[in-house]
């Protein structure tokens, strides 16, 4: 994976552009698969802990040749960053997202979690480093808030309102992971191994010791197991991170993040035939508001600051020394 040869002019070469677009298309599909499979846990024989175990064990098996390298590199990483990686995209995040998905819909999982990341990253970055978003970006964040508010107002049951609140918590936790990726010096493969190791242990131990009910132990349907291994374990756990890193290197962070906003659209469309979820007016309004907010936020972040009054670093795009913004994945 290399940077565009035309980086000096700000324009990627045609082969690099083609590779970046292909990688981004794959990433969008994989992110949609995450939201759909989270919603599909309730329709399978597996428990949430079963699927978490498959999600985190599979990448460790696939990436086993790189485990020794990851263990060597992790010794040089700060403990706080490692903890943020493991919590922000590990077992706590997975279980929170699964809980929210069980109370809402695949469409809302795909919209609320990634859609609110710019909002939470901005808030967290200000609290940690006093970095500020550009004034114009605040309007984009307002659109995201309004989009979530539409879903809450239109909710037909307390469970759905609670589900949206849980998904917001998942978005907050994922934002911690996003910031941790910008602080870590681990490469994408090492980061995946680091976060999957503790999560596989924490989810697998209660299952193997018989402390919690498990369909894996009782003999779950092979089709369900293979589906979650493929979608969550290989797709989300391995391919999504690598494809998104490739897309960012070829297209640039703002362009990749903007194209990534297509993932909720695909999730919404696929949830209709897969789960029979209706495309309601409220869901459509939420999608349009959040999508517009995310795209505007990223495009405004990409604009250069005026020479006379340079703005502080953008907490969601511009890296500081030693950070790796190209490693930032989403759901």
Nearest Cα neighbor of 105 from 259, 264, 218, 244 is 264
Write out the two tokens for 28.
């969008």
Better-scored residue on pLDDT, 265 or 11: 265
Closest CA to 325 of 261, 248, 238, 255: 248
Give whole-number Cα distances, 116 to 134, 223, 325, in Å: 17, 33, 18
- Find the mean pLDDT for residues 134-138: 88
- pLDDT > 90? residue 188: no
Tokens of 24: 């981004």
For residue 61, give Cα distances in angstroms to 66, 94, 113, 245, 296.
10, 19, 28, 21, 39
| Mean pLDDT, residues 80-87 | 94
Q: What is the mean pLDDT of residues 102-126?
A: 93
Distance CA 317, CA 125 (A): 11
What are the φ/ψ torsions at residue 132 (nearest 5 degrees)? -120, 145
Per-residue pLDDT tens digits for 234-271: 999 999 988 988 888 888 767 887 888 889 999 999 99
pLDDT at 160 over 60: yes
Q: What is the mean pLDDT of the chain?
A: 85
| Backbone torsions φ then ψ of 164, nearest 5 degrees | -65, -40
166 has pLDDT over 90:
yes
pLDDT of 7 reads 38
- Residue 272 near residue 278, CB atoms below 8 Å: yes
Q: What is the mean pLDDT of residues 94-100?
A: 96
Average pLDDT of 292-318? 62
Q: What's the confidence (pLDDT) of residue 18?
A: 87
Banded pLDDT at 303 (limits 50, 70, 90): low
Closest by Cα among 214, 194, 212 to 69: 194
Burial letters 242-275, b for 16+ CB under 10 A, else e: bbbbbbbbbbbbbbbbbbbbbbbbbbbebbeeee
Return d(Cα 161, Cα 104) in angstroms, integer: 8
Token pair recorded at residue 118: 């710019």
Q: Evaluate if residue 161 carries a pLDDT over 90.
A: yes
State the burial class of residue 281 (Cβ atoms within 10 Å of its Cβ: 0-12, 13-18, 19+).
exposed
pLDDT tens column, 213-226:
999 988 888 989 99
pLDDT at res. 310: 45
Where residue 306 falls among pLDDT bands split at 50, 70, 90? low
Q: Is 130 helix (H, G, I), strand (E, B) or coil?
A: coil
| Confidence band for 322, pLDDT divided at 50, 70 and 90 | very low
Count of positions (residues) in the chain:
331
């Amino acid at each position: 994976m290399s940077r565009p040869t035309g980086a000096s002019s700000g324009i990627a070469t045609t082969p690099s552009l083609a590779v970046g677009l292909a990688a981004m298309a794959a990433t969008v599909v994989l992110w949609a698969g995450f939201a759909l499979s989270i919603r599909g846990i309730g329709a399978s024989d597996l428990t949430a802990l079963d699927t978490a175990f498959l999600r985190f064990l599979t990448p460790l098996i696939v990436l086993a040749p790189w485990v020794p390298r990851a263990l060597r590199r992790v010794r040089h990483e700060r403990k706080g960053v490692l903890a943020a990686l493991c919590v922000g995209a590990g077992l706590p995040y997975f279980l929170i997202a699964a809980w929210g998905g069980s109370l809402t819909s695949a469409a809302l999982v795909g919209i609320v979690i990634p859609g609110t990341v710019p909002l939470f990253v901005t808030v967290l970055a200000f609290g940690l480093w006093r970095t500020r978003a550009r004034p114009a970006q605040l309007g984009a964040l307002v659109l995201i808030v309004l989009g979530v508010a539409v879903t809450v107002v239109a909710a037909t049951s307390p469970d759905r309102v609670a589900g949206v609140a849980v998904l917001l918590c998942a978005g907050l936790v994922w934002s911690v992971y996003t910031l941790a990726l910008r602080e870590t010096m681990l490469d994408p493969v090492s980061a995946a191994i680091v976060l999957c190791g503790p999560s596989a242990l924490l989810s697998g131990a209660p299952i193997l010791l018989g402390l919690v009910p498990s369909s894996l132990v009782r003999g779950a349907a092979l089709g369900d197991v293979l589906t979650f291994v493929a979608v969550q374990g290989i797709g989300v756990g391995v391919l999504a991170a690598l494809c998104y890193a490739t897309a960012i290197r070829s297209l640039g962070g703002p362009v990749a993040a903007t194209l990534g906003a297509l993932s909720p659209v695909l999730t919404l469309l696929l949830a209709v035939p897969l789960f029979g979820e209706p495309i309601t007016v409220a869901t459509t309004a939420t999608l349009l508001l959040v999508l517009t907010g995310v795209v505007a936020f990223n495009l405004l972040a990409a604009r250069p600051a005026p020479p006379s009054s340079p703005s502080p670093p953008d907490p969601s795009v511009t890296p500081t020394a030693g950070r790796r913004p190209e490693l930032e994945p989403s759901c």
